[in-house]
Structure 1
Amino acid sequence: MNPDLDLALERVIRAPRAVVWGAWTDPSRFEKWWVPAPAVCRVDRLDVRPGGAFVTRLSEDGREFVPHMNASFLVVDELERIVFTNAIDSAWRPANPAPVPMTAEITLSDHPDGTDYRVIVRHGDPAARARHEELGFAEGWGSVTKQLAGVAESQAVR
């Protein structure tokens, strides 16, 4: 990790890796946690494989949905790692996404209490990193990670 370019977050999720992985790869579960509540997510495409599309929409009122994420998966190592970027859209075209272009790496590893969940979001320059931080990276990604934990932990109990 380069502290001048990257932002990171980590959390222990009290659920097995397979359950956390499923929350990332099953569109119906993914929609439950991907955007900070009370906003609502709709998955248009979630093709979790290298080169696969990652397209979501967002709604503040649950009725009108607007584009949210149009990205591509770069690396998918089952049960271990997901890497995606919004710098290339779902059709593999170069993109200039708002608010910042980024590449996110999510890693999952075993932890005595469940899953060690780590996120590194890489930016192309210090200004993009600073902008993402100012826009609330810690709060936004922290919030959705907490929601992910809630979905996974509720599944693990069943």
Structure 2
Amino acid sequence: MNPDLDLTLHRVLRAPRAAVWTAWTDPARFARWWIPAPATCRVDRLDVRPGGGLVTLMSDDGVAFVPHVDATFLVVDDRTRLVFTNAVDSTWRPASPAPVAMTAEITLADHPDGTDYRVLVRHGDPAARAHHEKLGFLDGWGTVTAQLEEVAR
């Protein structure tokens, strides 16, 4: 972890690791937590394998959807780790995503109370990291993590 380039979030989720993994890998469950409520998510692609795509859209009214994430999975270690980036889109083309390019690493481990859940989001330079933090990284990722916990219970 490089504090000049990276943002982190760590929580103990009161849900079994297998259920947290399923919430990350099942499109219907993923759509229930990936975007902070009351906005809604539509999953167009969730191909959880190295080189697979992650494409989501979001809506404030449940009718009109706009692009949210178009990313590629880089690493998938069953029930322990997911790594994806939006710097390469789901068709493997270089991307310049708004609001910030990032690579996210999600790690899961057993914990006596459920799942040790860690997020490490890497950025290309200090300005991108600062911008992501200013946009509300902790609030946004914190909110969806709480939603993930509810779905996984």
Match of 2:17 in 1: 17
Q: Equivalent residue for 1:121?
A: 121
- CA displacement at 1:15 relative to structure 2: 1.2
**Inter-partner Cα distance in structure 2 for 1:39 and 1:10:** 24
Summarize deviations over 1:62-106 as a string: whole Å, max 9, x none.
Answer: 000011000000000000000000000000000000000000000
Shift of 1:27: 0.3
Counterpart of 2:142 in structure 1 is: 142
Aligned residues: 153
CA–CA distance in structure 1, aligned partners of residues 102 and 89 of structure 2: 12
- 2:38, 2:30 → 1: CA distance? 15
What letter matches 1:100 in structure 2?
V
Match of residue 3 from structure 1: 3
State, as a whole percentage, how many aligned pairs show the same letter.
75
Deviations along 1:139-158, whole A, 9 cap, x unmatched?
Answer: 000000010011112xxxxx
- Aligned partners of 1:122 and 1:96: how far apart in 2? 15
* Equivalent in the alignment of 1:73: 73
**Distance between the aligned counterparts of 2:60 and 2:8, measured in 1?**
26
Q: Please tell me whether residue 57 in structure 1 is matched to residue 57 in structure 2.
A: yes
Letter in 1 for 2:101: P
Counterpart code for 1:27: P
Q: 1:74-93 alignment to 2 at 5 Å? A: 74-93=74-93
CA offsets, 1:115-158, max 9 Å, x none? 000000000000000000000000000000010011112xxxxx
Q: Which runs of 5+ in 1 are unaligned?
A: 154-158
Per-residue CA deviations over 1:3-33 (Å, capped at 9, x if unaligned) read 0000000111111111000000000000000
TM-score, normalised relative to structure 2: 0.99
Moved over 3 A (4+): none
Give the partner amino acid of 1:9.
L
RMSD of aligned Cα (Å): 0.4
Partner letter of residue 61 of structure 1?
A: D
Q: CA offset at residue 39 of structure 1? A: 0.3
Q: Which amino acid aligns with 1:94?
A: P
In 1, Cα distance between equivalents of 2:48 and 2:5: 26
TM-score by length of structure 1 reads: 0.96
Letter in 1 for 2:62: G
The answer for the alignment partner of 1:156 in structure 2 is none
Can you give the 5+ residue segments of structure 2 that lack an aligned partner in the other structure?
Answer: none
